[in-house]
Amino acid sequence: MFWTISCMASVTVLVGFSYRVLSALGELARWAAPYLARGASSTESRDARRDMAELNEATIELGSRLDQPAFVPRSCAKAAFSLGALVALMQAIQRLGGAAIGAWAAPLLSFAAGCGGALGCWFIGRMAEERARRLRDDWNTLIRRSARDVST
């Protein structure tokens, strides 16, 4: 039973790591919101060159943070599934000596926890990819609009 509880706790931590990535994308969207709200109007100000430099710097920062939004959740999903399968396999090997039917609940529960954690991490990764795609699209629209409004 100790291994089952440890497996569940570890899988919960992995899902938590995945969720942190999703919440970091939310914080990134809040960070980018003032730029997106200003839109191309920042290039119409007196100091358009400074505003464009600030926008370029923000673009580099945003691009680096949106590079692979689902990498951590995908890795956590693999780890959760592997952990659940490993613990279930270890428990099953211990019970091969002719244990009662009820003794097989622990390996099944460990495997189910791993599968559930993997599914949760996968779902969080899909949400992170979607949130990053929307933010990337909004930012690209801003860049196109501001590049069109800058006189060359």
Tell me: the pLDDT tens digits for 21-57? 888 888 888 887 887 777 645 445 556 677 677 777 7
The pTM score is 0.75
Domain ranges of the chain: 2-149
CATH code at 2-149? 1.20.58
Q: Which own/partner pairs from 1-8 qualify as long-range (CB within 8 Å, at least 24 positions apart)?
A: 1/106, 3/87, 3/90, 3/91, 3/106, 3/110, 4/87, 4/91, 4/106, 4/109, 4/110, 4/113, 6/87, 7/83, 7/84, 7/87, 7/110, 7/113, 7/114, 8/109, 8/110, 8/113
